[in-house]
């Protein structure tokens, strides 16, 4: 599904997938899109699942921006967890402290359950 506000995978939970490696040229868009989805929602958002199965590389600039968006989401009361199958993506997430609760989930449903939500996962892809 295209990324749009108020498309929840479960009550209060957004799943967001980005299908490209993150680097200085696209990291700003990634961060802006996530913040827009959370802040434009008409219902409260308490969880974000980052599906990074399509990401195999994260450069330094993108990692700094990811830490910034994670900080902003924390201020908004939004917990972040990640879904990844690539060992490289998992390593990047852990190296930069972006693995949510320090666990990277193998499935979207597992990540949603970790956030305390139930429901069928509907992924917003970019």
Tell the burial category of 84 from Cβ atoms under 10 Å away from its Cβ (0-12, 13-18, 19+).
Answer: buried
HSE, side-chain direction, 13 A CA sphere, residue 22? 29
pTM of the model: 0.81
pLDDT at position 85 is 66
User: Which residues have C-beta within 8 Å of that of residue 104, sequence separation ≥ 6?
Assistant: 82, 83, 84, 90, 93, 94
In this predicted model, what pLDDT tens digit does every residue of 3-53 receive, in sequence order?
666 678 889 999 998 889 989 999 999 999 999 999 999 999 999 998 888
Q: Which two tokens stand for residue 82?
A: 């990640």
In this predicted model, what pLDDT tens digit does every residue of 83-108 receive, in sequence order?
886 777 777 777 776 665 557 788 89
Contact call for residues 94 and 104 (beta carbons, < 8 A): yes
Q: What is the mean pLDDT of residues 65-77?
A: 90
CATH number of 13-125: 3.30.750.24
Q: What does the domain layout of the chain look like in residue ranges?
A: 13-125
């Amino acid at each position: 599904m295209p990324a749009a506000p108020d498309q929840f995978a479960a009550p209060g939970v957004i799943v967001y997938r980005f299908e490209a490696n993150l680097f200085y040229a696209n990291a700003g868009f990634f961060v802006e899109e996530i913040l827009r989805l959370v802040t434009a929602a008409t219902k409260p958002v308490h969880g974000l699942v980052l599906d990074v199965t399509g990401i195999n590389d994260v450069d330094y600039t993108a990692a700094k921006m990811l830490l910034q968006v994670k900080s902003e989401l924390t201020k908004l009361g939004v917990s972040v967890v990640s879904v990844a199958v690539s060992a490289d993506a998992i390593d990047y997430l852990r190296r930069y402290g972006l693995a949510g609760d320090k666990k990277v989930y193998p499935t979207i449903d597992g990540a949603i359950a970790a956030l305390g939500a139930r429901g069928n996962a509907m992924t917003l892809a970019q």
